[in-house]
Amino acid sequence: MAPRLDFSDWWRKDSKEGTPVVVKMENPNYSVVEINGPDSAFRPVEKSRGKNAKQVTWVLLLKAHRAVGCVAWLATVFWALLGTIKKRLIFRQGVAVATEKLGKGKLVLKIIRVFLVASLAILAFEVVAYLKGWRYFESANLHIPRTLDLQGWLHVVYVAWLTFRADYIAPLIQALSQFCVVLFLIQSVDRLILCLGCFWIKYKKIKPRIEVDPFKSDDVEASGYEYPMVLVQIPMCNEREVYEQSISAVCQMDWPKDRILIQVLDDSNDENIQWLIKAEVAKWNQKGVNIIYRHRLIRTGYKAGNLKSAMGCDYVKDYEFVTIFDADFQPNPDFLKLTVPHFKGNPELGLVQARWAFVNKDENLLTRLQNINLCFHFEVEQQVNGTFLNFFGFNGTAGVWRIKALEESGGWLERTTVEDMDIAVRAHLNGWKFIFLNDVKVLCEVPESYEAYRKQQHRWHSGPMQLFRLCLPAIITSKMAFWKKANLIFLFFLLRKLILPFYSFTLFCIILPLTMFVPEAELPMWVICYVPVLMSFLNILPTPKSIPFIVPYLLFENTMSVTKFNAMVSGLFQLGSSYEWVVTKKAGRSSESDLLAAAERDSKTINQAQICRGASETELELLNQLKEQKEANPTPVKKVNKIYRKELALAFLLLTASVRSLLSAQGVHFYFLLFQGVTFLVVGLDLIGEQIS
């Protein structure tokens, strides 16, 4: 008997488009019907056949349903925003007001409040004039009658305001706006040139390469391979969430154990965290890893002081290179084998910098927007500068330094909060070259809350201006080429560190709202819309998946200009907050490289006995106590959102200006001011870090 072939299961599993099925009826009066797919029977027979009235009705109903759903979604979001405003601004539920520690912050807030009150008064005045029909006075070709011919004191005041506005206020705003527009165009050209340079690198496939076997020894009698001595430093301060995964990743790097030393540089002032880090170091030490724990009794100079103290140890002279990883960085095992070989045969090379990658870039809207900025910084700015100029700012972590370059450049200095940029500038002045490896990535975290991101950006923008004041004489008197001096002064410091936050805050947060009340100083459309969108699109190009976030990105960057402008001013004029260092709060997100560490944590009970044999009885008791505290259920900490007064004041200022633009029928200005005002409002209420996927 022939085997029975049943293809029904196979057809159900693998068929996606549908298989031709022939249906034969025994009655010869019926015809043969061939169905090419599941939807074939429902396709129109004739292409020219139009839709009937019933089909059109269903299509219209479907579109109406979608429109109603969209309107309902917008109404829900608006209602939720109003509820949040009521809860946080009026009743102050679960929020804390961000403190202004310095007079500068209070002064900026007072200035914004003055602008807000003035704009509200002018808006009320303009609404009355609009309702009275006085809006025709905005026409330049219309004759303004004399004061005696007018009736009503309000009308007289309005005419006087128009004259004063056109003769005195408008010229000042116009001059300032033209100055900012020029800066805006210069910065846009610089960004466009950087993008073209990045395209050229991609087109020509330019990247640093290793031509020969870097570890091959010339000595025939030797083992055949020679690995240089590498010192690895992990500076940290109260890093309870990330210390374990960082130490674990560094200890698993593929390098001969007798050619590497790991320094855990702990500046923690919490004794519990200190003992937890000591226990982690002891665990890896028992496994044969050459790792030591260092703690400073006097914490001066923040991270720079910590690194300076570690480099002062006697055994450092035996090492040729030093690599630095912040507490949340998790390098791959082959990191040293991908970076250290570039130094061989290149005695002028002082730094090899790797790129950052982020384990939590899709956590919320805030992390997505940060990922756009940082990807542009690494893939465009640093890659182009490293390829064509052999110079860029050291990122403070995920880089390998030649110790000789550090020593000849003066070592780590404690004079600024951007010690990484400081040592990079001094090394560049001493003739050392840098290499950026875009293909070598080290996993880390970006701040997930607006409070942490705001403090990080304050340090990143106040430190460069403080460093610029200190380094300017050294740059001018240095012996390097004139074009290198110009690049450092005008491009590296002024254009990208000073001009960018200045024009962004002044143009979009101050001048644009004022032009709504002073129409004689109106900004052109290309300044408000076309050029910012184009620049934002160029920023998003390194991360194509982020293109749907181009509008939130543009609005959020303008919003962050307030924080960046404050930081720039504090650093430039040496205000108190310019030397303020706040450790960025981290969540301790794990990555793929943590799988081995997770397996080791599962076998913690087995390894505990080995650790205990290498510890004294006193240390054993402390470690057991800390273990009990760590395993105990911690008390959940309730998240407290913050209210930022400067952002809220600017939000209401922009919303007031949007109402004025609506009266004058300026559509694009209205939408831009409205959306920008809502963004300031969301940031002021500390909602930007919520879980928005």
**Tens digits of residue pLDDT in 268-279:** 988 999 999 999
The residue-averaged pLDDT of 491-510 equals 92
Extended strands (E) in 162-257: 230-236
Q: Percent of the chain having pLDDT more than 70?
A: 75
Instruction: Quick: pLDDT tens for 329-347.
Output: 999 999 999 999 999 989 9
Q: What are the tens digits of pLDDT across the range 604-624?
A: 433 443 444 344 444 445 555
Query: For 513-559, what is each residue's pLDDT tens digit?
Result: 988 888 888 888 899 888 999 999 999 999 999 999 999 999 999 99
pLDDT given at position 621? 56
Per-residue confidence at 172, pLDDT binned at 50, 70, 90? very high
Confidence (pLDDT) at 92: 62
CA distance 296 to 310: 9
pLDDT > 90: what percent of the chain? 47
Res 242 pLDDT > 50: yes
Q: What's the 3-state SS for 138-183? A: HCCCCCCCCCCCCCCHHHHHHHHHHHHHHHHHHHHHHHHHHHHHHH
Q: Per residue in 353-392, is it b (16+ CB within 10 Å) or e — as a string?
A: bbbbbbbbbebbbbbbbbbbbbbbbbbbbbbbbbbebbbb
- What does the pLDDT average to over 673-688? 89
Q: What is the pLDDT of residue 559?
A: 92
Q: Which of the residue ranges 76-80, 104-108, 359-363, 497-501 would you say has the lowest mean pLDDT?
A: 104-108
- Would the pLDDT of 472 be above 70? yes
Distance between CA atoms of residues 533 and 522, nearest Å: 19
Both structure tokens of 149: 């011919």
With tokens 């694009």, the residue in question is 668
Least confident of 157-166, 265-274, 475-484: 157-166
Distance CA 684, CA 2 (A): 78
Helix (H) or strand (E) holding 263: strand 260-266
Q: Which residues in 602-626 are b (16+ Cβ under 10 Å) and which e?
A: eeeeeebeebbeebeeebeebbeeb
By C-alpha distance, which of 469, 379, 2, 399 is closest to 195? Answer: 379
Is residue 200's pLDDT more than 50? yes
Q: Of the spans 139-148, 397-406, 642-651, which averages the highest pLDDT?
A: 397-406
Give me the mean pLDDT over the 212-233 stretch. Answer: 72
Label residues 103-137 b or e (16+ Cβ within 10 Å = b): ebbeebbeebeebbeebeebbeebeebeeeebeeb
For 32-48, the pLDDT digits (tens) are 444 444 444 444 444 44
**Catalytic machinery residues:** 267, 420
What's residue 94's pLDDT? 60
User: In whole numbers, what is the pLDDT of the chain averaged over residues?
Assistant: 80
Write down the pLDDT at residue 130.
73
pLDDT at position 148 over 60: no
Tokens of 357: 């990658």
More confident residue, 541 or 69: 541
Instruction: Give the strands of the sheet with 399-402, arranged side by side.
Output: 291-295, 260-266, 230-236, 321-324, 399-402, 349-358, 433-444
What mean pLDDT comes out for the span 86-111?
63
Name beta bridge partners: 293.
264
pLDDT of residue 96: 66
The gap from C-alpha 15 to its chain's centroid, in whole angstroms, comes to: 46
Q: Is 219 a residue whose pLDDT tops 70?
A: no
pLDDT greater at residue 560 or residue 605: 560
